Structure formats: structure tokens, C-alpha cells
Structure 1
Amino acid sequence: MTVALYTAAVAFLTYACIFAYRKAFTVATFEGQSFWGVRYQTLLIISQGLGYMASKFYGIKFISELKRLGRWKTSSVLIGLAWLCLLFFAWVPAPWGMLFLFGNGFMLGFMWGIIFSYAEGRRATDFIGAAMAVSFVFAGGFSRSVAVWLRDSWQVGEQWLGFTTGLVFAVPLIVFMFLLERVPQPDADDVKERSMRLPMTREDRKNFLRLFGGGVVAVVITYLFLTIMRDVRDNFMANMWNELGYGQKPAIFTKTETITSVVVLVVMSLLVIIRKNIKALRLIHWVIVAGFLIAGISSALFLTGYMPGVLWMQLAGLGLYMGYIPFNCIYFERLIAAFKITGNVGFLIYIADAWGYLGSMSVMLTKEIVGLQLTWIEFYPASVVIFSVIGVLATLFSLFYFSGRYKRMMPEKE
């Protein structure tokens, strides 16, 4: 338990610091600036997102083949280059900042897989992964609050917010990376219950997709819509709070996201109680369905005037993170353990992430290029309602697919 608590705390704090290098700049709205008919803020977010997406596609190979030795060096280089991109972003005139935010996104896109490699394959991975995953819920709000504080109290210019916020988090990040490198390897009992985690070759990846291709497609569709809902909310949260009348209250970011973090952490951590992997995998599907329903129903109530904006933002965030976070910390972990696959979670996470971010970028581009005359608090909740319906159906298909597969492949353990 001591190792689990230590790993969870260090992974949480490490990724929370990394998030400051990715999301802090989004509090800058760059009012009045647009290029090619699209707002500069949106172009920057899309550029960073495209870099992040590109890293996910490359990460299918890179992360699945990642070896344990030298992970801290890889992390240091990637984060250092991401921060350097923020420095160049601050120096260059618009719209050239797009190029450096693309680079920033590409470098940071590998970090989730690297850090999660310290946590996977353990009996307590559900708890550790949940703690790590909610870090980007908490960190998204906290890093933005720091950026707003720097902007309003220290008059830091909009282009310098990303680099300056990164400076604030630099020393803590170095300390936490040092502590992360001292996490012990999974012990014999961990391996027995959760299977050995090893780098995957090209042939290993092909074999997995041949065995579980139908289920992977359903998972990718589910995760696609969850990523779109989460990413749009995360990137344009400042705009939504502005439209709801809370733009000058920086604490609103931390307050709402902290509540969501705590609730999701409790829900995800309870899954560690379920020792049998296939039972946990089935239950996770129902948690994801519940998340879609909470997000979809609350958005429908907000659109029809039956729910206030603050409560809607809270419930929509809670619902989508209930669906999104399991894929980043528990779903694939339990899938690999249930079917006794020798491999790693990073391969599956990066397949889902790659297509998820492709969908997210497509939605943002569509809104701007097509020229939908909707505010974010009109466009976003309507999208959530539609995507929630599709997400529920895809999740139910995935549940029946993997349950049936398990009964055929491992009947003696059913």
C-alpha cells in the first residue's frame, strides 16, 4: 500500500506540472486577431492539437516499444523542447506562433504514455492510474488559475503566459520526475494478477488487433466522442465561463475542476476492490455509460433552460471525465490483465488517443470553417447531447463484444 500511495502521489503531481506546459496559454483569447477567417485563438489550439494528435499516431509505435531504462532522459528532452517552443511562441509575431504550438503539442503528447509506464501492471494500478488521470482534471483548472493570476496580478502578456506559467512549475517538475524514477518495479504478485508488461513488437501489435479488432473499433468510436467533448470543453473553458459571466473569477477554474477530480478519483479508486479483471472490465463499461448519460442529460436540461450554467459545467465535466478517464488508466489495464496479454497499455491508449484527437480537431475546424453562428455555450451542449447517444450505443457494443470474447477464449475462468 505504501508503494501504491507513493506512486499515485508522485504520478499525480508530475503530470499536473506537465499540464502547465500545455494548457496555460488557453486563457489568452487574442481578441480581434484572426487569419484566413478563423480566430487566432482557435488556430493556436488547433495547431497544438494537431501536434498532439501526430504524437499519438507515432506513439502507437514509440510508446508500445518503450523500454524502462532511460525514461527520465526521454522525458527531460521532450518537456524541455516543449517549453522552448513556448519561448519561441512568445517571440514570434502572429500567426507564426502556430508552428511552435504544433511542436509543443507533439513533444508533450508522449508524456502520458511514459509516466503511465511507471504505474501499469500492478494490483493497485486502478488507484494509481485514477490518481494520475484526475491530475489533468485538476491541473487543467489549476494551471489556468495560475495563468490568470500572472496575467492580472503581474501583467504578463498573452503570448508570454504559456512560457511564464511553465517557469513557475519548472522546479517542482524536476523534483517530481526525480521521485518518479524511484518507483519500484511491479512485484511477483503484481505480475501474477495483472500479467507481465513488456515492450511490444510490430508482430505483437498485429496479433492483438487480429484477435480483438471489432472491440478495438467500438472502443475507438466511444473514445473519439469522449475526447471531442473533453477537449473542446478543456480548450475553450475560458470562453464558456466568459459567456456564462464568470470570466473575471479565476478561482472558478480550480473550484469546479477540483470537485470533479475528487468525485472521479473516488469512483475510479473503488474499482481496485474488484480483484477479478473481467468483472472490473464489465463494470467499467457501465461507469462509462453513466458518464455519457450525466453529460448528455445535463446538457439537454441546460439547453432547455432547466439547469443553471454553473451546475451544467460541473455535471458535464463530471460525466465526460467519468467516461474519459477509465480509458486512460483502468480500461486497457484490465483488458490486458483479463486476457493475460503480454504487452503494455501504452499501445492501446495511443491507438484510441490518435483517433480521438483527430475527431476533436475536426470538430473545431468544422465550427470555424463552416461558420456556425453559435456561441460556445450553444454549440458545445448541443454537441454533447448528440455524442452522448452515440457513445452509449458504442459502449454497450464493446461490453457485449469483450464479454463474448472472454467466454470463448477463457471459458474455464468465467
Structure 2
Amino acid sequence: MFRVTLADILPHKSIQLPLAPQLKLRSPISIALYSAMAAFLTYTMIFGFRKTFTVATFDGLQYWGVGYKTLIVVAQVLGYLLAKFYGIRFIAEMKRQQRWKIILILTGVAWVSWLLFAVFPAPYNIVFAAINGFPLGMLWGVVFSYIEGRRSTDFLGAALAVSFIFSSGFVKSIGGWLMQHWGVTELWVPFVAGLVFAIPLLLFVWMMEQIPAPTAEDEAERMHRKPLTQPERHQILKQFWPGLILAILVYVFATIFRDIRDNFSADMWKELGFGERPAIFTQTELPITLGILLMVGSLTLVRNSSKAFMIAHLLIAAGFIITGTSSLLFMAGHVPAFTWMVGTGMGLYMVYIPFNSIYFERMIASFKISGNVGFLIYLADSAGYVGSVAVLVSKELLQVKTAWVPFFSQSTQWLSLAGLLLTILAASYFFKKGRKQVLIDGTS
């Protein structure tokens, strides 16, 4: 039986990025700021090849009794889902050389898939949304590998993670602008938007290649980061499986409703009477981006990883409380739609962002695991996207005809209660596990 991997596709000869030599970054602060900017800008451009189609609503289009946009979303998420399962092994075992080629090849495949999506007739073009999702689903782990294992990774991870809060609104605004001012049709907008993001992506990938490797001081505090073999991955799961299951269930809830808000925010804004204002996407996501960056990035100041890991649980719990309270107040008529969308977005990303930046990073450092964070992120992501697909498909198969605003506002309240309970249980497990480790080996 043949098995083809990305390593088989990439050239085996070592090729250096054909641009200027590495920049001379000396002070830790300059390295951190430069790395944060490079990672943020790179993933923002990558997001442009993923989510611009969501600005379209495809009104009235249905196939097999299911809304056309829902079919596109589900197809793309299925591609993402497969990528997350594949990425558990690929990202865990990925070596650090030639990562720029992986980024450009995967993004190029995703871009070509949107061209084929526009050319082929509906509903047969839906398959290309799935093809788009698979390569893009691999890229988070590749980009994160540039910044993990550093004393400043909390700040760097927050900067990278908030890129998809900001970019979620930014790329929709770009898509809306292309449709309104350039007459680009709904089917063509994701491919044409790629023209906007392609050249900047090349520049920002080059910037990431200039990021210096972690120092000895970084490795002393955050552990050496290396590829994980299959036996090593199994050992981590065996050692921490109860806590990981609880944490991943929390992440599943956050992923489901973060995806609903992200993919169908255009539909919700239209229901709320804001359908002709493409700038609304950036206006809501910008304060969320700044707030999350401040909250999550400030954990860099907490040098003790065990304490920072517990604080991450507090941040996640607060996110669930904010999400549920925002929806409760909105349904009671006490807050306007704009405040509700910002509040639920802030709360959901307070849960979602730590898992993509600091949660597993601090877990590895806290329990002194020699490996990489990509394995755990992709393990959680694979479960999260299973939940996201399940909810979208169930809503259609069960013929739940409610509009997105009432569906989202009601369900987020139940999400918050369940998520808060699971977060408390996860924090309790890892706190006891950490105390036990201190008693055994005397570490702190």
C-alpha cells in the first residue's frame, strides 16, 4: 500500500529562501515584537484564502433541502477536520527546515481550489471548498512552530491567535468591498480576494524566516521543542488523559459556537438590519482583538508556568460567563445588537484563543514535557471540528428552521453553563496533578 505525505511532495534538496540574509535582531524585546508582527501578518493573509466567501449569503439557494452556504461551510470544515486528524502526526513530527515552502505550497493549493470553485457549476463546486479546507487546516501548526518554546510565547501566541479574530472581520470587509465596488460575484469573491493577499503573504513569510531560534534561556524555562514520535505521543495521552478529555470538551463547545459566529455573522447582521455595512465586521472584531491580545499576552509576565496554566483556566471560565451573560441581556432587550455581538465574540475568544496559544504551551512547560505544542493543539482541533460539523448538519437534517440570531443567542447560554462546569473540573484535575508531581520530584 502506498502512503503519500507532504514530505514526499516537497523537494528533498535544501533550498534557502531566496531573499536577504537574516535580520540582526538582538534584544529580547525587539525579537518578541518582530516575531509577533510577522506571525500576526502571515496568518492574517492566510485567512484571506479561507474565509472571504462567508461575506456572501447565497440567498434562496438550496440543494437537497439544505442551504447552499451551509453546504459550502460544512464542506470546508470537513476539509479542515481531515487536516486536523492528519496534522496530529504531521505537525508533531514536522522538522523545522523548509517550513516556508510548506506554507506557500499549501496556500497555493487552497487558492487554486477557489478558482475551480468559481468555474464549476453549483452544487458540484462544493467539493472544492473541502479541498480548500484541507491544506489551510495544516497551516496553524506550521506558523505556530516559529514562535513556540520561548519565554515570550504567551505574547507571541496571543498575537498569532488574535490574527484570526481581526482577520475574520478584515477579510469579510475586503470581500464585501470587492462585491460592492468592483462587482465581483459571490462565487468569484474568494478567488479574487486571493489576488489581494498573495503578494503580502510572500513578504510576511520571508519575515517569519528571519525569526531567531529559541535561546538556551528559553529552553530552560519552556523546555526544548522537538518532533514527537508515536510512542512519545501515546505516553503524553496515557499520562494526562482525564484532564485532556475535559479540556478538549471545553474546546469543542468553543469551536462550535465560534465557527457559527464566524461563518454566519453576515447572515446574523442581515437579520439584525446591518446587511449593507461591510465595515461592521472589522468594527466588531477590532476591540475584541485588542482585548484578547492584552489579556492573553499579559500572561508573559507570569514566569511560573504552573501558575500561568491555572490562570488560563480562570480566563476561560470568565469567557463562558461573559458569553452567556451577553446573550441573556440581549434576549431580554437590555443591550443592543452591536454590544451583543462584541460581548459574545469577546467571551468565545477568551475560551478559544488560549487553546490555540498559551494553554498547551504552559501545560508542556508546567509538567516538563519535552516535545511540541502542535500535537496537542491538533488533537483538540480535530475534536472541535467534529463538533462543529455535527451541529451544522444536525440543524439541517432536523430541519431546525429558526433564524441564526435566535438560534445563536439561545444556544450560547446553555453552552456557557456546560463549558463553565467542564473548565472547573479540568482546572481541578490539573491542579491536583501538579501538586502530585511536586511531591514526587520536588519541582515547582
3-state SS of 1:113 partner: helix
Partner letter of residue 250 of structure 1? P
Q: Deviations over 1:333-367 (max 9, x none)?
A: 00000111010000000010000011011111111
The aligned length equals: 414
Within 5 Å, give how 1:50-129 maps onto structure 2: 50-129=78-157
Within 5 Å, give how 1:238-387 maps onto structure 2: 238-387=266-415
In the aligned structure 1, how far is the partner of 2:242 from the partner of 2:47?
A: 33
Do residues 144 (structure 1) and 152 (structure 2) align? no
Q: Deviations over 1:205-246 (max 9, x none)?
A: 000001000011001100000001100100001001111111
Within 5 Å, give how 1:387-406 maps onto structure 2: 387-406=415-434
Determine which of 17, 23, 32 is the counterpart of 2:51: 23
Percent of residue pairs identical: 49
Do residues 165 (structure 1) and 209 (structure 2) align? no
Q: What's the offset of the Cα at 1:41?
A: 0.6
Q: What's the offset of the Cα at 1:306?
A: 2.2
Q: What's the offset of the Cα at 1:30?
A: 1.3
Q: Deviations over 1:34-87 (max 9, x none)?
A: 111001010001000010011001110011111001111111110000000000
Q: TM-score, normalising length from structure 1?
A: 0.99
Q: TM-score, normalising length from structure 2?
A: 0.92
In the aligned structure 1, how far is the partner of 2:438 from the partner of 2:62?
A: 57
Within 5 Å, give how 1:4-43 maps onto structure 2: 4-43=32-71
Q: What's the offset of the Cα at 1:373?
A: 2.2
In the aligned structure 2, how far is the partner of 1:410 from the partner of 1:174?
A: 46
Query: Is there any run of 5+ residues in structure 1 with no aligned partner, and where?
Result: none
Q: Which runs of 4+ in 1 moved over 3 A?
A: none
Q: Deviations over 1:305-347 (max 9, x none)?
A: 2221111001000000011100000000000001110100000
Determine which of 229, 234, 237 is the counterpart of 1:209: 237
In the aligned structure 2, how far is the partner of 1:352 from the partner of 1:172?
A: 30
In the aligned structure 1, how far is the partner of 2:204 from the partner of 2:127?
A: 29
Partner letter of residue 121 of structure 1? G
Q: What's the offset of the Cα at 1:181?
A: 1.1
Partner of 2:10: none
* Structure holding more helix per residue: 1
Contact 2:320 2:416 in 1 (8 A): yes
Partner letter of residue 368 of structure 2? K
Contact 2:246 2:425 in 1 (8 A): yes
Contact 2:437 2:443 in 1 (8 A): no
In the aligned structure 2, how far is the partner of 1:389 from the partner of 1:67?
A: 41
Partner of 2:162: 134
Query: Is there any run of 5+ residues in structure 2 with no aligned partner, and where?
Result: 1-28
Partner of 1:413: 443
In the aligned structure 1, how far is the partner of 2:360 from the partner of 2:438?
A: 18
Partner letter of residue 413 of structure 1? T
Greater mean alpha carbon deviation, residues 370-379 or residues 403-412: 403-412
Partner letter of residue 234 of structure 1? D
Q: What's the offset of the Cα at 1:166?
A: 1.0
